[in-house]
């Protein structure tokens, strides 16, 4: 039964999509809360550079070496950005806008030069090939498990292990960095680790959804969750649920319309964000309007007598 399900193409694709969303929104939650969402943009572009460099050095296109390479590339991106910003000659956002296009450009040019030797082309870089994840499988307990599913599961476990272990520290570092620092929690180190995990997740998700759509999976479910709850742990749950729902609905819509599956999944995360934005129970636009209307219609209370 299980083997049968996995050999059909639909379930592995949806599972990979959901896992990409769950793993990315875990780290994305902190990026959204800290106001660093655009770092996911920077990282997802510059890992192209990392992937090509690691491939040139080791000839490995996926696996642990690539994940570590990605972590280092992500770190390099952030450090370069901070180094540029610390010269005080350019602002933080300008620095981001300078660093990642440069790294991305080098990556694309190297891909151009070595195009005959490597099968990642610029098309894959952007779109990923989630529709073909079932082609590349590993045998685990006799079951053919898609390799993308394995690497995404590893990243999900790693991300949540990190978040689980340092939950209290991360929470404080996110909401009150100054206090976290006085407690000796080293918020900046925590943040660097988080960004390294983000890069590794981006590389693991790379084959499935490509560089740009990763941003959608990292930022959008987390943003939607942020509009729905005030509790940090709840954000992870909502983010994961939105990822699963986007993955399933995106898959069927994409098959129905015969379009890019990864793209459609990312579009669905956007649909959920708009729903949360409009109809969220507390912060939704409609709720706010209704509340304002009620406040206007409510009879004015007499001032308390002195």
Partner 1 sequence: MAWLELLSDYTFQNVVIGASLLGLISGPLGCFAVLRRQSLLGDAISHAALPGICLSFIITGSRDIGGIIIGSLITGSAAALIMLMLTRLSRLKTDAGLGACLSIFFAVGIVLLTYIQGTNNASQGGLEAFLFGQAAATLRSDLWVMGSITLVTLLLLAAFWKQAKLVTFDAEYARTLGMPTTVIEASLTAMVALAVVVGLQMVGVILMAAMIVAPAAAARQWSRHLGGMLTIAAGVGIVSGVSGATISTLSRGLATGPLIVLTATAIVLISLALAPGRGLLWGMIKHYRQKSALQQQQLLYALYKHSADPSRASPTLGSRRMFHKLKQQGYLTRSLRGATPSDDGWGLTAQGQAEARRVVAAFEELAS
Max CA pair span of the chain:
85
Instruction: Rank residues 8 and 288 by Cβ distance to partner 1 and give the closer one.
Output: 288
35 token code pair: 């106001």
Instruction: Rank residues 220 and 240 by Cβ distance to partner 1 and give the closer one.
Output: 220
Residue with tokens 């990979």: 16
The whole-angstrom separation of Cα 172 and Cα 78 is 22
Which string of DSSP letters, residue by residue, matches 140-156?
ETTEEEEHHHHHHHHHH
Instruction: Rank residues 79 and 138 by Cβ distance to partner 1 and give the closer one.
Output: 79
Contacts of 139 (CB under 8 A, 6+ apart): 145
E strand or H helix at 144: strand 143-146
- Shortest Å, Cβ 200 to partner 1: 19
| Listed residue (124, 76, 66) closest to 100, CA to CA | 76
- Shortest Å, Cβ 188 to partner 1: 18
- Shortest Å, Cβ 67 to partner 1: 22
Instruction: Rank residues 206 and 226 by Cβ distance to partner 1 and give the closer one.
Output: 226
Instruction: Rank residues 84 and 148 by Cβ distance to partner 1 and give the closer one.
Output: 84
Residue with tokens 């450090």: 79
Q: Give me the residues that bind partner 1 (CB under 8 A), please.
A: 32, 35-38, 40-41, 45, 84, 87, 89-91, 93-94, 96-98, 101-102, 104-106, 108-109, 112-113, 115, 122-123, 126-127, 212-213, 215-216, 218-220, 222-223, 226-227, 254, 257-260, 262-264, 266-267, 269-270, 273, 277, 283, 285, 288
Instruction: Rank residues 29 and 159 by Cβ distance to partner 1 and give the closer one.
Output: 29
Instruction: Rank residues 77 and 260 by Cβ distance to partner 1 and give the closer one.
Output: 260
Q: Coil, helix or strand for 205?
A: helix
| Listed residue (247, 197, 237, 193) closest to 217, CA to CA | 247
Under a CB-based contact definition with an 8 Å cutoff, are residues 78 and 189 in contact?
no
- Shortest Å, Cβ 305 to partner 1: 37
- Shortest Å, Cβ 290 to partner 1: 14
| Listed residue (20, 45, 25) closest to 104, CA to CA | 45
Beta strands in 8-133 (DSSP E): none
Determine how β-strand 137-140 pairs with β-strand 143-146.
antiparallel
């Amino acid at each position: 039964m299980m083997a049968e399900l996995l050999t059909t193409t639909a379930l592995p694709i949806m599972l990979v999509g959901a896992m990409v969303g769950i793993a990315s929104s875990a780290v994305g939650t902190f990026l959204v809360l800290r106001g660093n969402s655009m770092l996911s943009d920077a990282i997802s572009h510059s890992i192209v550079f990392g992937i090509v460099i690691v491939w040139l050095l080791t000839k490995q296109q996926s696996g642990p070496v690539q994940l570590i390479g990605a972590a280092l590339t992500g770190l390099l991106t952030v450090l370069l950005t901070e180094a540029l910003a610390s010269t005080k000659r350019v602002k933080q956002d300008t620095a981001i806008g300078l660093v990642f296009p440069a790294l991305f450009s080098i990556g694309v040019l190297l891909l151009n030069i070595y195009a005959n030797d490597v099968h990642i082309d610029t098309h894959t870089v952007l779109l990923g090939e989630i529709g073909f994840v079932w082609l590349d499988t590993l045998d685990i307990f006799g079951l053919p498990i898609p390799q993308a599913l394995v690497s995404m599961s590893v990243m999900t476990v790693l991300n949540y292990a990190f978040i689980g272990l340092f939950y209290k520290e991360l929470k404080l570092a996110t909401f009150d960095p100054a206090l976290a620092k006085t407690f000796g929690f080293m918020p900046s180190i925590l943040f660097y680790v988080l960004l390294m995990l983000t890069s590794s997740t981006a590389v693991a998700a790379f084959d499935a959804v490509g560089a740009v759509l990763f941003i959608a999976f990292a930022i959008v479910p987390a943003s939607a969750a942020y509009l729905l709850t005030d509790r940090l742990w709840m954000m992870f749950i909502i983010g994961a649920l939105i990822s699963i729902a986007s993955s399933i609905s995106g898959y069927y819509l994409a098959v129905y319309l015969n379009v890019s599956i990864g793209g459609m999944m990312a579009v669905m995360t956007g649909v959920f964000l708009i729903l949360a934005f409009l109809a969220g129970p507390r912060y939704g636009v409609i709720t706010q309007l209704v509340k304002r209307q009620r406040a206007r219609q409510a009879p004015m209370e007499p001032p308390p007598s002195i």
